Chain A
Amino acid sequence: MELSLETLKKIDEVIPKYPEKRSAALMVIHFVQDELGSISDETCSWIAEKLDLEPINIKELITFYPMLRETPWGKKHIRVCRTLPCALRGSYKTCKVLEEKLGVMEGHVREDGEFSIEFMECLADCGEGPVVMVDEQTFENIEGKKAEEFAELILEEKLDSSKSFTSYEDALVSNNSKSKKSQNK
Chain B
Amino acid sequence: MIKKKTPKERRIILKHADDPSYSNKISCYLKNDGYSMLKKAFKMKPEQIGEEVLKSGVRGRGGAGFPAGMKWKFLDRKSGKPIYLICNADESEPGTFKDRQIIYKDPHQLIEGMMIAAYAIQAKQAFIYIRAEFFEGARILENAIAEAKSKNFCGENILGSKFSCDLIVHRGAGAYICGEETGLIESLEGKRPNPRIKPPYFPAVLGLYQCPTIVNNVETLCNVKHILEIGGEEFSKIGKPNNTGTRIWCVSGHVQKPGYYEFECGALTLGEMIYDVCGGLLPGRTLKAVIPGGSSSKILRADERFTGKLKDGTDFDWGIEDIPLDFDGPASAGSMSGSGGIIVMDNSVDMVEAMANINAFYAHESCGQCTPCREGSLWMRKITKRMCSGDAREEDADLLLSVANQIEGRTICAFGEAAAWPTQSFIAKFRDEFEEKAKGDSNKPTLQLI
Contact = CB atoms under 8 A, between A and B. Distances in A.
A26 B171 contact: yes
A20 B99 CA distance: 28
Contacts of B209: 19-20
Interface stretch (A64-72, A100-108, A149-157): A64-72
Nearest to A66: B174
A61 to B, nearest CB: 7
A29 B105 CA distance: 28
Contacts of B188: 23
A124 B252 contact: no
Nearest to B344: A88
A21 to B, nearest CB: 8
Contact of B364 (A23, A27, A121): A121
Interface stretch (B68-76, B132-140, B396-404): B132-140
B357 A83 contact: yes
Interface in B97-133: 97, 99-100, 104-105, 125, 131-133
B341 A126 contact: yes
B259 A26 contact: no
A107 B403 CA distance: 29
A19 B125 contact: yes
Given A67-B174, A128-B258, A176-B20, A88 B97 contact: no
A154 B191 CA distance: 37
B252 A127 contact: yes
A122 B362 CA distance: 11
B250 A127 contact: yes
Contacts of B343: 84-85, 88, 126
Query: In which size bucket is the chain B interface?
Result: 35 or more
Contacts of A177: 18, 105
B302 interface: no
A84 B94 contact: yes
Interface in A25-71: 25-27, 29-30, 51, 53, 57, 60-61, 64-68
A85 B447 CA distance: 12
B175 interface: yes
B349 interface: yes
Contacts of A65: 172-175
A22 B253 CA distance: 41
Contact of B192 (A60, A79, A129): A60
Nearest to B261: A127
A146 to B, nearest CB: 16
Q: Which 4 A-B pairs have the closest CB atoms?
A: A65-B173, A67-B174, A25-B190, A85-B252
Given A23-B190, A126-B258, A127-B252, 20 more contacts: A17-B168, A20-B190, A26-B170, A26-B172, A51-B190, A53-B190, A64-B175, A67-B132, A68-B174, A84-B94, A84-B449, A85-B341, A87-B449, A88-B253, A93-B448, A122-B92, A126-B250, A126-B341, A127-B260, A128-B258
Interface of B: 18, 20-21, 23-24, 82, 91-97, 99-100, 104-105, 125, 131-136, 166, 168, 170-176, 187-193, 209, 250-254, 258-260, 291, 295, 341, 343, 345, 349, 354, 357-358, 360-361, 364-365, 367, 447-450
Interface of A: 17-20, 22-27, 29-30, 51, 53, 57, 60-61, 64-68, 79, 82-85, 87-90, 92-93, 120-129, 133, 136, 168-169, 172, 175-179
26 contacts: A17-B168, A19-B82, A19-B125, A19-B209, A20-B209, A23-B170, A23-B188, A26-B187, A57-B190, A67-B132, A82-B360, A84-B94, A85-B94, A88-B253, A88-B254, A92-B448, A122-B176, A122-B361, A124-B134, A126-B250, A127-B259, A127-B260, A129-B252, A168-B104, A175-B20, A177-B18
